[in-house]
Amino acid sequence: MKGLKRTQVERLEKLLQAQRRASLEEAEAELKLVHEQSVADVAGEVADTGDESVAMLLTDLNNTMAQRHVDEIRAIDSALAHIRSDEFGYCADCGGDIPFERLKAFPTATRCTACQTKREHTFAHASTPRL
Ligand SMILES: [Zn+2]
């Protein structure tokens, strides 16, 4: 299993799970502040369907701040889904190892620093990706 040790993967997994909880809480708190009425209305309809519905709810409300958290949560879910696979920890662009230090700072990173920098430069003026 490549460059990452099992203990490192487990540490990243814990980080991701903590981040996911924090992102959900922040997104919900922001939505309550900004859209108290509409959240109450919509939340009533999807009360016990879980996190995925919360994410969909946030998307529907199209709140920019909450949207950022939805993107985060999706990235976290994707990382959690792959963290125990052989794909995790490799750069999506060049295939090189993503250093553990970088993953610790950005557990959702899918590219090495060099490729991410290049990409941000290339797509600096691209619009927000559609969900
Ligand atoms: Zn790379």
Per residue in 79-123, pLDDT tens?
A: 999 998 888 999 999 999 999 999 999 999 999 999 999 998 887
User: Which pTM value belongs to this model?
Assistant: 0.66
How many whole angstroms from 65 Cα to the centroid of ligand 1? Answer: 29
Average of per-residue pLDDT across 41-66: 59
Average of per-residue pLDDT across 7-23: 96
CA gap 34, 69 in Å, rounded: 14
At 21, the pLDDT band (50, 70, 90 cuts) reads very high
Yes or no: say if 98 and 90 are a contact pair by the CB < 8 Å rule: yes
DSSP H helices in the chain? 6-34, 36-45, 51-61, 64-82, 100-105, 113-122
How many whole angstroms from 102 Cα to the centroid of ligand 1? Answer: 12
6-122, CATH topology level:
Four Helix Bundle (Hemerythrin (Met), subunit A) (1.20.120)
How many whole angstroms from 90 Cα to the centroid of ligand 1? Answer: 8
Residue 90 three-state SS: strand
Query: Six-digit token pair at 18?
Result: 């903590």
Domain coordinates of the chain in residue numbers?
Answer: 6-122
How many whole angstroms from 73 Cα to the centroid of ligand 1? Answer: 23
How many whole angstroms from 60 Cα to the centroid of ligand 1? Answer: 34
The confidence score (pLDDT) of residue 1 equals: 42
